[in-house]
Chain A
Amino acid sequence: MTQSIWRMPRWFHQMGSPKWFYDFGGSLQPWFAIAAFALLTWGMVWGLAFAPADYQQGNSFRIMYVHVPAALLSQSVFLGMAVAGAVGIIWKIKVAFMVARSCIAIGATFTAIALLTGAIWGKPTWGAYWVWDARLTSTLVLLFLYAGVMALNQAITDRQIAGKATAILAIVGTINIPIIKYSVEWWNTLHQSSSFTLTAKPSMPADMYLPLLLTVLGSYCVFVLVILIRTRAQILQTQSGANWLMQHRDITGA
């Protein structure tokens, strides 16, 4: 057994405890809820009501405030799922598999939102709801990847085996995503160039991209919030009967 190739730091070990995650996650939860609500409200109101209209696209560009965060999240969540899965495999941490499992549905939802808003945005921009644009196509493939992960996770009845199998598939998928993106872009060179990155100087005026930054940050907070809620729910489910849980204030009401 090759167990101690990578020694686990102490704090990391501690994070793997369901009790620790339940308590720490529980204390973080309200803060992320507040941050998500505030950032999204601020960004959306600013973006939808006050930001200037685009000189080419008019008001239709405003769907970007939903589309871009969803598209960013769709990929980040997949990456997060793979990282959580890898942590679970390497250090045998069950909570990590639960986190990875929590990622599936929220990631697929963000991907679906990105596709849907992309199609709606496409109608005024290209004159059709669907074109085989490179980014839409690779987002579609990403949705298929999520569908595969979801199907595998549900098909395996043993939760621990399902967790590991899902993790392997998520890792393989993550390694493949750049290759898929590259090949699809190569296949269709008629794509819009990316107009927004967090590192490069944006080509939009500040009034347009600052609200976007807010909605992106807000969406990340929503993501963390959902992960916390769903993972803690899974801990309650699987640990029911454990000593620490039976004595927990959430159960005893003390």
Chain B
Amino acid sequence: MSSSSSAMSDLFFTSDLACERDFRVLYSSLNFSVKAGDLWHIKGRNGAGKTTLLRQLAGLHSVDTGQVLYPNEATKVIYVGHKLGLKEQLTAEENLSWLAGLNGFSTKLQRYAALEQVGLSGYEENAVEQLSAGQKRRVALARLHLCKAEVWLLDEPFTSLDQQGIVDEQDWLNQHTLAGGAVIMTSHQDISLPQVKVLDLSLYAGSSLGDLSREGGSST
């Protein structure tokens, strides 16, 4: 875990990040930095705050204590959460179109190519509601190939994928990190890649309630 002094080479880092929900501390004093080529596997028991941490890193969950800093503002981040963010009534290709349109521009050809990469050739014009759970997950993951982003934040990305899908996805993660990207993911599955680093949230579990509240801990 490097400190913020090496900030320039980091894609992003956290400083004293904490999270409390309903005044219960999930984790605190979390300092970690993510560099190009990193693959972080966040572990912890249910309710440890894995999803919340990913959402804080993405900027979806408010950060009340500590900071999440991206030194380069142009760093692109893709977040694929529990909810896939797909519109059931739209086709796979249409969904990719609007999702990619949020960050820039994509051609139909590129979208077809991305769907082919996730093994969905022939399903491009099917409404997402007609696809299986695993296929929906693949549509959502197709964004990883379509939008070139440095940082991938993936919440349980193997959910409902078949055996081959899990192997394929580990291959994508591998290629992305080798190409200088970074991945931060949660999973109950072990990842069989050499570069994987583990962040165990239980090490940062809140010691005492209320210690986060501004001067709460410093009573004399």
- The listed residue (A92, A93, A244) touching B216 by CB distance below 8 A is A244
Q: Looking across the interface, which residue of chain A has its beta carbon closest to that of B22?
A: A159
What is the number of residues of chain B that contact chain A, defined by CB distance less than 8 Å? 18
Residue A16, interface by CB 8 Å = yes
Q: Looking across the interface, which residue of chain B has its beta carbon closest to that of A247?
A: B219
Chain B contacts with A in 179-220, Cβ cutoff 8 A: 208-211, 213-217, 219
Q: Are the CB atoms of B211 and A242 closer together than 8 Å?
A: yes
Residue B110, interface by CB 8 Å = no
Residue A18, interface by CB 8 Å = yes
Residue A241, interface by CB 8 Å = yes
Residue A176, interface by CB 8 Å = no
B27 to chain A, nearest CB (A): 16
- The listed residue (A20, A94, A243) touching B208 by CB distance below 8 A is A243
In the bound assembly, the distance between CA atoms of A243 and B208 in angstroms comes to: 7
Q: Are the CB atoms of A238 and B23 closer together than 8 Å?
A: yes
Q: Are the CB atoms of B215 and A20 closer together than 8 Å?
A: yes
Q: Looking across the interface, which residue of chain B has its beta carbon closest to that of A3?
A: B67
Residue B45, interface by CB 8 Å = no
- Report which residue of B64, B209, B210 has the largest number of chain A beta carbons within 10 angstroms of its beta carbon: B210
In the bound assembly, the distance between CA atoms of A20 and B214 in angstroms comes to: 10
Q: Are the CB atoms of A19 and B21 closer together than 8 Å?
A: no
Q: Are the CB atoms of A94 and B213 closer together than 8 Å?
A: yes
Interface flags for B106-127 (1: CB within 8 Å of A; 0: not) read 0000000000000000000000
Interface of B is mostly: loop
Residue A245, interface by CB 8 Å = yes
Contacts of A240 in B (CB 8 A): 209
Residue B48, interface by CB 8 Å = no
What is the size category of the interface that chain A forms with chain B? 20 to 34
Chain B contacts with A in 144-166, Cβ cutoff 8 A: none
Q: Looking across the interface, which residue of chain A has its beta carbon closest to that of B65?
A: A92
Q: Are the CB atoms of B215 and A241 closer together than 8 Å?
A: no
Q: Are the CB atoms of B211 and A243 closer together than 8 Å?
A: yes
Contacts of A239 in B (CB 8 A): 23, 209-210, 213, 216
When A92-B64, A242-B208, A242-B209 are in contact, do A17 and B214 touch as well, CB less than 8 Å? yes
Q: Are the CB atoms of B214 and A242 closer together than 8 Å?
A: no
The interface of chain A, by Cβ under 8 A from chain B, is 1, 13-14, 16-20, 92-94, 158-160, 238-245, 247
The interface of chain B, by Cβ under 8 A from chain A, is 20-23, 63-64, 67-68, 208-211, 213-217, 219
By Cβ-Cβ distance, the 10 closest A-B pairs, closest first, are: A242-B210, A244-B219, A241-B209, A17-B215, A238-B23, A239-B210, A17-B214, A18-B213, A242-B216, A92-B64
Extra contacts besides A92-B64, A158-B22, A242-B216 (4): CB < 8 Å: A20-B215, A240-B209, A243-B211, A247-B219
What are 17 A-to-B residue pairs whose CB atoms are below 8 Å? A1-B63, A14-B215, A18-B216, A19-B219, A160-B20, A160-B22, A160-B64, A239-B23, A239-B209, A239-B216, A241-B208, A242-B211, A242-B216, A243-B211, A243-B216, A244-B210, A247-B219
